[in-house]
Amino acid sequence: MSFRRSALAVALVALVGVAVAVSAGARSQGTLTGAGATFPQPLIAQWQQNYKRDEINYNGIGSGGGIAAITNRTVDFGASDAPLTPDQFSACKGCIQLPWVLSATSVMYNLGGVKNAIHLNGKAIAEIYLGKITNWNDARIKRLNPGVSFPDRKITPVYRSDGSGTTYNFTDYLNSVNKEFKSKVGGPSTTVNWPTGVGARGSSGVAGVVTRTEGAIGYADIAYALKNHIKFAAVQNKSGNWATPGLRSIRSAASADKKFSRTNELSIVNPPKGRKFQRAYPISTYSYVLLPLKTSKAAQLKAFVAWAVTSGQQYGRKLIFEPVPQFVVTRPKTQLTRVKS
């Protein structure tokens, strides 16, 4: 009896030992763990597959979660579409943010029998999310879309229930086009008090609820709308043109801000009227990587970010991530020297 038991014990220990050895051996590269925004996640997923130097782990928990995670040093890098506020910078105790992804927030809708790219201007979107327009056959929507017949269907606005940089981008836009939204809801912020609608977690969650709910309208990075075959609206820019999210319309919007703030922030929401911005999509945004200034993984992180803003950008085109402009590519060269181990 006792021989059998000790034999069993030896076997178990051996098994565990082998398993540990196997898994340890499999990770001879280093690992970088990150968390945050779901907005850039489709592109980051491409990087995870194609970056060979280190293994990249990434958890899409929302920009708010990313900011909290890097502040708590729970991860090696954070990702957020919302730039850090001064308070968040001081709470982070020595962090740096750098733009590394450029794309746009689509306004998606689920309306059977209605074509893609219906016209919705900022005022209409704001009033939908304020709860003032409650049905798709409202005159205010019909007026923007002559010739399109809308069904009698309740509008269900969908928003992000988690701390979201896409919410920041979306509320940033709505604040700039609608005074009532600005006073009632405010922001821009990763979390706001939405007067009406249904919450969902993550960009995928918003896409999920919109797909499952007839008459729903929601906001998420354009890649999610394309991937899930969800229709998205054409939004009117300040020049009066109707623009949909695309590489060209995003590039046009990006030319609205070429000057970094002291914290590397670039704001390209709702570009002004002008020849350069005729085709601009007004709800475009950069997304940022958040790094601690003092980290034991400084060399690895610097290499990763440098790769991401250069070679990494090519993987994004198909998913409507416009490669970041040259002045953004060169910024990390000077800024990353501040990151030390």
Chain residues 227-246 in contact with other proteins, contact rule CB under 8 A: 227-228, 230
- With binding defined as CB under 8 A, does residue 104 bind other proteins? no
Q: Which is nearer to other proteins, 246 or 325 (CB)?
A: 246
Burial class (CB in 10 A: 0-12, 13-18, 19+), 251: middle
Task: Give the nearest distance from C-beta 218 to other proteins in angstroms.
Answer: 10
Largest pairwise CA distance in the chain: 88
Q: Is residue 199 near other proteins by the rule CB under 8 A?
A: yes
Listed as own residue / partner, the contacts of 88-96 with beta carbons closer than 8 Å and 24 or more positions apart are 89/263, 92/67, 92/290, 92/292, 94/292, 94/293, 94/294, 95/70, 95/71, 95/290, 95/291, 95/292, 95/293, 96/264, 96/290, 96/291, 96/292, 96/293, 96/335, 96/338, 96/339
CB of 176 to other proteins, least distance (A): 15
Instruction: At 57, list the tokens.
Output: 């782990």
Q: Which of 4, 87, 149, 275 binds other proteins (CB under 8 A)?
A: 87
| 115 is a contact residue toward other proteins (CB under 8 A) | no
Q: Report the alpha-carbon distance of residue 318 to residue 158 in Å, rounded.
A: 26
CA distances from 263 to 84, 187, 280, 307 (A): 9, 19, 25, 21
Q: How far is the CB of 181 from other proteins (least distance, A)?
A: 12
Stretch that binds other proteins, among 99-107, 184-192, 290-298, 299-307 (CB under 8 A): 184-192
For the bound state, the minimum distance from the C-beta of residue 104 to other proteins, rounded and expressed in Å, comes to 16
223 binds other proteins (CB under 8 A): yes
Query: Which residue, 280 or 289, has its beta carbon nearer to other proteins?
Result: 289
In the complex with other proteins, which residue's Cβ is closer, 162 or 322?
162
CB of 252 to other proteins, least distance (A): 25
311 binds other proteins (CB under 8 A): no
Nearest C-alpha neighbor of 285 from the set 200, 176, 159, 195: 176
Interface of this chain with other proteins, residues 123 to 182, rule: CB under 8 A: 154, 156, 161-164
* CA 312 – CA 294 distance, rounded (Å): 24
Chosen residue from 7, 20, 293, 299 binding other proteins by CB under 8 A: 20
- DSSP code per residue over 68-120: HHHHTT-SSEEEESSPPPHHHHHHHTSEEEEEEEEEEEEEEE--TTS-SS-EE
How far is Cα 107 from Cα 145, in angstroms, rounded to an integer?
16
- Distance between CA 168 and CA 287 in Å, rounded? 11
In the complex, what is the shortest distance from the CB of residue 125 to other proteins, in angstroms, rounded to a whole number?
Answer: 18
Q: Which of 201, 244, 257, 267 binds other proteins (CB under 8 A)?
A: 201
The reply to whether 68 sits near other proteins by the rule CB under 8 A is yes
* Window contacting other proteins (CB under 8 A); options: 3-11, 25-33, 270-278, 283-291: 25-33
Q: Which of residues 190, 249, 270, 285 is near other proteins by CB under 8 A? A: 190
- 68 vs 256, beta carbon nearer other proteins: 68
CB of 339 to other proteins, least distance (A): 19
| Closer CB to other proteins, 199 or 274, in the complex | 199
Which tokens sit at 145? 């879309």
Q: Check binding of 303 to other proteins (CB under 8 A).
A: no
Which CA distances in Å does 241 have to 119, 171, 238?
A: 10, 21, 7
Q: Are 211 and 205 in contact (CB under 8 A)?
A: no
Residues between 31 and 60 that touch other proteins (CB under 8 A): 31, 33, 35, 41-42, 44-46, 48-49, 55, 57-60
